[in-house]
Amino acid sequence: MVGAGVVGTTTAFELTLDGHEVTVFERRSTVAEEASFATGPIVAAGWTAPWNRSERSLCMPWTSRSSGMTLNRLPRGSEWRWLWHWLQAGRHERQTENHRQMYQLVRYSQERLLSITEDHALEHDRSEGMLVLWRGPRDAEQARPALLQMKDLGIGFREHSADQARALEPALNPETPLHGAVELIGEAVANCREFTVSIRARAQRLGCRFEFNTRVESIDSASSTTVDLRLASAGAPPSQNALRTHAETERFDAVIVCAGAHSASLLHPLGLRVPLQSVQSHSISAAMREPLDAPLSAVFDTRHGVSIARLGQRIRVAGGCDFGHPPGQLSRSTLRRLYGALTDWFPGAVRLGGPHGSLQEWQGAQATLPDGPPLLGATRVPGVWLNLGHGSAGWSMACGSARALTDQLAGRNTDIELHGCSPRRYNL
């Protein structure tokens, strides 16, 4: 396996649980070091709904629009084509089917996450229930198609008036206009990194091998029955025993690529042209100042595309969809939007400074496909499988994707229909 983010690590666990001998190669020094590190914690079925019609629109960082994808520079080369396909996927007919697939996968993943957590007594911050907030009547009107589809799929939710919503989340700022809300039912918030660390430990106890500080340089599927991985050190400290001093090759029956945004360049030499783009998301994590001023679980501001959730003694604010932003460089405009949403809804919730403050601003690259659903399953290259392209919903879909791919590998029927996730939709 290639990649030890939450998707890769959970897949390794499920495969090992199924009796496979699994080795995971990760270029970082531990699990969940990149896109999974401080991602938004929402796992509620339904939060990925098209709550705002402008979510499939483009804007520039200096505009006042607060939703959609922000272009931080002019697109280059093939990026124009990717953005055109991304916009086309927002048309009603296509969007409806894509979201139907994503709803089903997120709900399945939510159920699988709860099952794993309880069966293996995992310890990680989590909570139930989430409010999707409507600032005005227009926000509620735009959400109607999403609610109808969720009802059709049997995804649990309740509509609430502004007063009912404030009763469920008493710390909501009374001065911020609130038209109403939708309550999403069931497990809604979970700490991605804590879960990933815990599930790695369980996988190792079952016999899974993790090779950190190891970069997969290439995949060779010349044989119809085996796959060769060319490996090299990814910059481990000289003192580390596992340091690879030169490139070497290991042979496997199959490889599953879960390397996020780096997957496209790894698969391209095999003739697999995966239309992945890195879209930047941001988060703010800060120590809770006063529990009475903080959310009990989580809220999602549909107008600004920002989630605010309690994770133990910390609050995490997450959102943003930045295209072309330099990796590793924080977007001040996106962070201002996150701080603004936090101030609007829970102005006294966190400590932003002082001796007891502990503030973390984070940016992560999300491997995003133009149409939405991830790629799960076997490619046309023998022995090469994919579990990637989850975009902003990687954590929300990780457990379900891992279980479904494990069932596919074993030749079993999956618990949910995954036609919309097939690699064949891109001729892969």
Rounded to whole angstroms, the Cα distance separating 253 from 320 reads 39
Query: By the 8 A CB rule, do 189 and 310 touch?
Result: yes
Rounded to whole angstroms, the Cα distance separating 427 from 271 reads 10
Closest-CA residue to 227 (of 420, 379, 365, 122)? 379
Mean pLDDT by 10 residues, the chain (428 residues): 97 98 97 95 92 78 70 90 89 79 94 95 92 96 92 93 97 97 94 97 97 96 88 68 69 96 95 95 94 95 95 94 89 93 95 72 95 96 97 96 98 95 95
**Tokens 């995992």 label which residue?**
122
pLDDT for 418 equals 95
Domain 53-92+126-186+277-368 coded CATH 3.30.230.10 = no
Closest-CA residue to 295 (of 269, 282, 314)? 314
pLDDT for 236 equals 54
* Consecutive H or E run containing 84: helix 79-88
pLDDT for 351 equals 82
- Its CATH architecture, for the domain 6-36+195-276+372-426, is 3-Layer(bba) Sandwich (3.50)
pLDDT for 62 equals 62
Rounded to whole angstroms, the Cα distance separating 299 from 184 reads 10
Rounded to whole angstroms, the Cα distance separating 414 from 51 reads 29
How does pLDDT run across 9-47, given as a tens digit for each residue?
999 999 999 999 999 999 999 999 999 999 999 999 999
Query: By the 8 A CB rule, do 192 and 117 touch?
Result: no
Cα Rg, the chain, nearest whole Å: 21
pLDDT for 355 equals 56
Conformation bin of residue 383: beta by default, left when phi > 0, alpha when psi is -120 to 50: left
pLDDT for 238 equals 47
Contacts of 391 (CB under 8 A, 6+ apart): 279, 366, 367, 368, 369, 372, 374
140 to each of 52, 171, 182, 249, 298, how far by Cα in Å?
Answer: 9, 22, 9, 56, 19
Strand-pair partners of 350: 288
Rounded to whole angstroms, the Cα distance separating 32 from 201 reads 13
Q: Could you tell me the residue ranges of all domains in the chain?
A: 6-36+195-276+372-426, 53-92+126-186+277-368
